[in-house]
Amino acid sequence: AILGVPLRLGARIIGVLYAADRSPREFTATEVALLSSLADHAAIAIDGARLLEETRAALVDLNAASETIRTHSEAMRRAEEAHDQLTDLVLQGGGADDVAAALADILDGGILIHDADGAELA
């Protein structure tokens, strides 16, 4: 004998829970009610596991987005800092040599400034 009851989440059926007995017989109303109750609990547990996995996946996505935002924010902060430093330098009367030196320091490298004809200015 085989008894099957639906695994329901509200109006949606997500599966079937089966019970079997090797010998032919009819299941009692109590057995059907018990298996139905077990199926209701199983459906809730299955849905809970699905929701937990969705939450974990969303958390991974949020962590990745947070890291991207942090990286972009840090780059924007450095750019703003460089802009402020170079603006202050120019407003204080710094020339091309001063700007080149400040840029070299900001970029941690060497800087050459050329005019439109290719002549080195700094």
Give me the pLDDT at residue 80, please: 96
Tokens standing for residue 59: 């958390």
Of 12, 61, 26, nearest in space to 69 by CA: 61
Query: Phi/psi class of residue 8: alpha, beta or left (left: φ > 0; alpha: ψ in -120 to 50)?
Result: beta
Task: Look at residue 92 and give its three-state secondary structure.
Answer: coil
- Are the C-beta atoms of residues 1 and 21 closer than 8 Å to each other? yes
CA distances from 39 to 15, 22, 48, 50 (A): 9, 21, 14, 16
Residue type, 121: L
Q: What is the chain's pLDDT, residue by residue, as a tens digit (122 residues)?
A: 999 999 999 999 999 999 999 999 999 999 999 999 999 999 999 999 999 999 999 999 999 999 999 999 999 999 999 999 999 999 999 988 898 899 999 998 888 888 899 888 87
Pure H helices in 1-122: 29-91, 96-107
- String of DSSP letters for 45-67: HHHHHHHHHHHHHHHHHHHHHHH
Give me the pLDDT at residue 113, please: 87
- Are the C-beta atoms of residues 114 and 120 closer than 8 Å to each other? yes
